[in-house]
Amino acid sequence: MLDIEIVNFYNSVRDPSWPDIQNYVDWVSLPEHIKEECNDLHGFQHRKEQVCDAEYWRSITTDVCVYKNLAYVPIPKCAYMYNTTLFTNLGWTKVPISELDMDAINFFGPIMHPLNRWFKGITEWLVQAYAVNEPILTPSNPWANNAMQIDWAQLTADLKNKYFKKLISTVNIGDLHSLPYSAMFGSMLDKINWIPMDVLTDNQVKISMMNFFKLHGHNIALPLDDQRLHVSNSTQLEILNTVKQEFYTNKSQIYSFYKLYADDLKFYYNLVDKFTPDWQLL
């Protein structure tokens, strides 16, 4: 079934006497009276527009962490676990972005260089592929999964396999951990107060957040000098170094990265060019 959303919509409104369809070509081949009923009575064309609209999919799959007129925007690999845990403990709420008044909310979040995040994201994708248990959400943080058990021995052995390394050298996007910012946020990317975490210390990132909170009417204290969550172990660092090595020695993968992430790089370079450090203003 090539066009699953088209087929699902059709099946939700179809009369039992109508023929089955498996893809959009089958839809086009339907009798005219069926297509007219789907269009006029059931809004098929509107659903087709939604299916083909990346902004629609972003709106129904993006969640943010909200407190009054503030919203933290989590990005996997950009201090995701630490910040979702921090703000959840402070009483902030996980909310679908589609439920928010975009003009009334002040969005913010830390972000890193697209290639640096790509390295870390592909590493995370590979590690999670060796999980021996299914992830389960933790009761205390609706954003976080329980600690997955990883088959580190098998992963370490596979790292020495030339075919495994070939796989690493050809992958462009693994999962959400390496999805381009532009694909994740689209037009919203320029509406968020991003903090380039690569050029700041952990404390400076949090102080910048606190200054942002003050700017919008809130005195919210964040802890300083605490430890990061989920520090990489030696095997994860070995995978990260392998991912980097394979990338830097493979022109095809480098070119694919620039074609897929060029918009991300343009956005990030502009962000760094315009960024004014404000941690000393607290």
pLDDT, one tens digit per residue, over 39-76 is: 999 999 999 999 999 999 999 999 999 999 999 999 99
Are 108 and 212 within 8 A, CB to CB? yes
Q: How far apart are the first and last CA of the chain?
A: 56
Residue 246 has pLDDT above 90, yes or no: yes
Residue 230: which region, alpha, beta or left (left: phi > 0; alpha: psi -120 to 50)? left
Arithmetic mean of pLDDT, 191-206: 94
Residue 247 has pLDDT above 60, yes or no: yes
Residue 23 has pLDDT above 70, yes or no: yes
Contacts of 78 (CB under 8 A, 6+ apart): 109, 110, 111, 112, 117, 197
What's the mean pLDDT when you consider all of the chain?
92
Query: What would the two tokens of residue 34 be?
Result: 């069926």
Arithmetic mean of pLDDT, 188-201: 93
Arithmetic mean of pLDDT, 114-143: 87
Task: Give pTM, 2 decimals.
Answer: 0.90
What pLDDT score was predicted for residue 137? 67
Reduced to 3 states (helix: H, G, I; strand: E, B; else coil), residue 77 is: coil
What pLDDT score was predicted for residue 134? 77
pLDDT bucket at 280, cuts 50 / 70 / 90 = low
Residue 146 has pLDDT above 90, yes or no: no
What pLDDT score was predicted for residue 279? 52
As beta bridge partners, residue 107 has: 71
Neighbours of 83 (CB within 10 A): 24
Arithmetic mean of pLDDT, 119-134: 92
pLDDT bucket at 228, cuts 50 / 70 / 90 = confident
Residue 197 has pLDDT above 70, yes or no: yes
